[in-house]
Structure 1
């Protein structure tokens, strides 16, 4: 393994992550916790869905992360007339060579912003499924790999339903986390105005803190984060509780457990630890599970939110001793798995 591809140390990952968040916070004001969830999703090689009201900085957040992480960035505005080929690319006839050449679509990038993803028909939405799950694109029988790192940040408006196509559960399940920012308070909003007047232009530009190859090494480093047996069982109990809860019609699948594991690892590293504790799991659980459960229809009349129910499940699930250190390292865990096969 070369120096360019070997994992960074976890202390380096924590430092780079803090620097990236500090950079993004110079533009996005007062939303440190949601930004940490977004960065955790990127570090865990996942995709993030922003679901919030218009004008709260969803598109700006994606652009800021692309700039601070040194990533190639494409923004794709999803509209009702968008075709799958507009996402993946297509073959075009080359008159000079007399052959068909492939023209890559905007999905061939490091960070793709799928803006207002619920405004395009399901056929076009599905064009992203293979890219998000397999990191590859198939066009007319030809498969092309997407170079790592690859991440989709998608936005959706939760209040305008006319002319929209709600994402099916299968596609929602492809997102590692769903994040909302919420309205800023008065001080935060005044800070936004002051910064806009100070820079004397609409656009904000951030210098790269890392580059694409460094991000790949940061992502690989997360595989060395230890998860003690009791923490893994705690994750499983939380997800299993979503399947038996009276207010939930359809609970989370095992993919929800994997999401908790991956986001919990990223959260642990960002907190300066090489092992996961229950607080990491509880912090990321609403973002990791709320879009993977379906509430009973009558609950919508009471304005019940999946996030609140997931938080209640976390509070009612018995917590293992948080001061207990891992009993094995990540490497030993792999050896144990191989030995039991």
Structure 2
């Protein structure tokens, strides 16, 4: 167990430094920062969804800058092409052959700003990259660097000039978070610290890609009891059987819920996963994957409310 303890000790040190750096930029959003770190340690992708001006892009940039890695930002627009993301083969006049020029997705951290402003065809260019960590162009497959994480932002209310993310795309994101408005004290601190310049400029990396890869492997080795596997399956199955949901969670959702629960347990300093870890992440991991039934929509229910009732109804393993 010594190796595991060493891995967890390193995880606590790195995540504490990362959280300190991020909260110096993102005021009053400790819970959102913690969820972002959970997704990073679980090797997933994060969807940040909220109204304009609450710090969605700032959160993505802050997490990206704390890791000494390659970071590419993609501003999604209606005229963005799939080749802008994946890359393209260009004919070299000197060698009389085609050469592959990598697109913006070839980075450790990809910040996709306003992802729902691109066409569905362009959005789909990310599907293979997010699921398999590779890109196929003209029949040739190119591996993406490790670790690889996509952090995308979108505005759920502004509909003009936007294309809703298809279910297949949303299912690739391990978790979705909403920033929400800061409280008055946090907003006052933000005015004081952001008024004379961007605090991002002073943000320095606190860890490396090699360290993050090691921490992801440490999280993967955390013990999960067979009864906990059954609990995750029971929760996912309950979403498919609920009369309040037209579309339940996919098998991928169950797998990512378990991975996120491992990361949450590691952040709590444990070498094993508890049902509490799973319950804590049901909303962020499953809410963006399910679709409410017409009856639930007419009743004014939300996906989070339905999922909370499902969690309360599914027996917790002893």
Please say whether Structure 1 and Structure 2 have the same fold, judged by a TM-score greater than 0.5.
Answer: yes
2:267 to 265, 270, 273: 270
Deviation, 1:163, is 1.6
How far did 1:138 drift?
0.8
Q: How does 1:67-146 map to 2 (within 5 A)?
A: 67-146=65-144
1:245 to 226, 238, 242: 242
Mean Cα displacement is larger for which, 114-123 or 95-104?
A: 95-104
Q: How many residues align?
A: 315
> What is the CA deviation profile of residues 234-283 of structure 1, one whole-angstrom value per residue up to 9, with x for unaligned ones?
21111111112121111112112111100000000001111111111111
TM-score in terms of structure 1 length: 0.88
Q: Following the alignment from structure 2 to structure 1, what is the Cα–Cα distance between the partners of residues 299 and 151?
A: 30
- Measured in 1, the distance between the counterparts of 2:74 and 2:32 equals 23
- In structure 1, the partner of 2:207 is 210
What is the CA RMSD across the aligned residues, in angstroms?
A: 1.7
Could you tell me whether the CA contact under 8 Å between 1:7 and 1:221 is conserved in 2?
Answer: no
2:204 alignment partner, SS class: coil
| Superimposed CA distance per residue, residues 22-46 of structure 1 (whole angstroms, 9 cap, x where no aligned partner) | 1101110111111111111111111
Question: 1:283 is matched with which residue: 280, 285, 306?
Answer: 280
CA–CA distance in 2 between the matches of 1:209 and 1:112?
18
Whether contact under 8 Å (2:12, 2:269) holds in the other structure is yes
Question: What does residue 193 of structure 2 align with?
Answer: 195
- Alpha-carbon distance in structure 1 between the residues aligned to 2:295 and 2:313: 23
Per the alignment, residue 60 of structure 2 pairs with 62
Counterparts of 1:173 and 1:126, CA distance in 2: 12
Q: Which residues of structure 1 form unaligned runs of 5+?
A: 322-341
Give 1:214 shift. 0.5
Q: How far apart are the structure 2 equivalents of 1:229 and 1:221? A: 19
SS of the aligned residue for 1:215 comes to: helix
In the superposition, the TM-score normalised over structure 2's length comes to: 0.95
Give the direction of change, closer, same or farther, for the CA distance of 1:62–1:8 in structure 2 (3 Å limit): farther
C-alpha deviation, 1:90, in angstroms: 0.6
| Deviation readout 1:168-218 (Å, 9 max, x if unpaired) | 111111111111111111111111111124xx3235231111101110001
Cα 1:7–1:213 change in 2 (3 A) is farther
